[in-house]
Structure 1
């Protein structure tokens, strides 16, 4: 098999073409948003919202409305419940997040089990990348474009909110509103990604790209470029691997992202484990080396 046959054969099939389009769109949108989630420290919140949208998606299916409507409503419901539990009890935020998102996720599983459907709704949980329809592709394209455009247009405000919410408030921005806006975009992004990898693996696509880019650069602008680039490349590699290995497509995409993070974690030039250990060893060696006595030179007259 030539290299051209290797690259082109999978895309002789229409379902692979749709899978590639959806995967790349989801990977790019999730990666851009993940930069802010990692920077703010909302990784666990991303996990909570991505799982909590499941009952909203199922109820939207029952009501015959777009998935995004139910997802956004339950995304905000989850955030509100987490805040209520945290502020009105002795339970800390991490425990409140765990309680709310597992309860809502379980509600979604129950709704799926009792909802009569002409299609198998379990694809919402585990993804069905190779079974996507033209309607699914259109929905992902529309929601992904809306989310990406808003993130680009508001990136300065979101970045200021992430770095210094006090300063953001001082110049007239509303940090609480910006946070709610980001969480709404998180819910929309979850709908985009669950079409590709399902609810279970959405959190990986929302966290891994941003964390990988964070280890490669100290500049947020570069991070916003590196994260979607790495994520899109992993999506393509994962899709090829799933085709030739006959493996689950969504799982393979996330597995490749995890492998990319591992390589960067180990070998990043500035923040990788190997580089930091070598730098620490050089510092210890320099500190323990005996000082050389000063040399004196005698000049012959």
Structure 2
């Protein structure tokens, strides 16, 4: 087993799994508490437009996708905030727009190649040094902001009206969370692909919430669980020569089912 650690490709994959898990654990928890999964889903699939732009104009894919996803995220956040009663329709339109733009530009792209599949379904073994740099940068920003503004994020997550009364600029922190969500989605693409990102953001935080109601502890536990799922999926994909992104999510879903089964058993035991 340990001989695979000598390969640079596997070392990069290992570091990527740890770095992305930290970001997904923290941001996924905030997304869950603020009930932003539908918005996150729309932004995730809309990010495909950034990949299409990168292919068509021969730009660095992660840079192009990051900028496009950030702009798209702010547009979605603004429209949803001002047309809350039609938020589901807005998210659906943005989702479709991003996917359509991406497909059209890739069809027109002279540089189209099979690497596209790695961005749709993930390929953790394709992680390069520049990817690790971006992941580390996003992690550093996320952790720093959580240390600086933990109380503010906690306040807007559990009681937005009370946060306003306390003088917290709720709009600023809402948009800041949306920006962090966008970057978290982008760095997760290499691991599990656009199609499966939502599972990596939601499953660890869902399980972690069962063990505590404290925001900080949920973030830490969700990050730890995400690491377990990523590393487990990585080993599974390596030994059975399977898609890494799908293996990571299968392991996460298995963890979800175990957690759900334990909850059901404990609930029935409590009734007796």
TM-score normalized by the length of structure 2: 0.89
Q: Which has the larger radius of gyration?
A: 1
The equivalent of 1:78 in structure 2 is 76
Unaligned runs of 5+ in 2: none
Once residues 106 and 112 of structure 2 are traced to their aligned partners in structure 1, the CA distance between those partners, rounded to angstroms, is 12
* CA positional deviation for 1:161: 0.3
Contact kept in structure 2, 1:53 and 1:75, CA below 8 Å: no
What are the equivalent positions in structure 2 for 1:125-204 lying under 5 Å apart? 125-204=120-199
Unaligned runs of 5+ in 1: 1-5, 283-301
Once residues 79 and 105 of structure 2 are traced to their aligned partners in structure 1, the CA distance between those partners, rounded to angstroms, is 20
- Which residue, 15, 25, 31 being the options, matches 1:21? 15
CA 52–118 in structure 1, closer or farther in 2 if over 3 Å, else same: closer
* CA positional deviation for 1:166: 0.9
TM-score normalized by the length of structure 1: 0.81
CA RMSD in angstroms, aligned pairs only: 2.1
For residue 92 of structure 1, give the secondary structure of its aligned residue in structure 2.
Answer: helix
For residue 217 of structure 1, give the secondary structure of its aligned residue in structure 2.
Answer: coil
**1:12 partnered with 2:6:** yes
The equivalent of 1:274 in structure 2 is 265
Higher helix share: 2
What are the equivalent positions in structure 2 for 1:1-301 lying under 5 Å apart? 6=1, 8-59=2-53, 62=57, 64=59, 66-67=63-64, 68-83=66-81, 86=83, 92-117=86-111, 120-267=115-262, 272-280=263-271, 282=272
CA 59–149 in structure 1, closer or farther in 2 if over 3 Å, else same: farther
User: What is the total number of aligned residue pairs between the two structures?
Assistant: 267
Contact kept in structure 2, 1:18 and 1:137, CA below 8 Å: yes
Once residues 31 and 148 of structure 1 are traced to their aligned partners in structure 2, the CA distance between those partners, rounded to angstroms, is 11
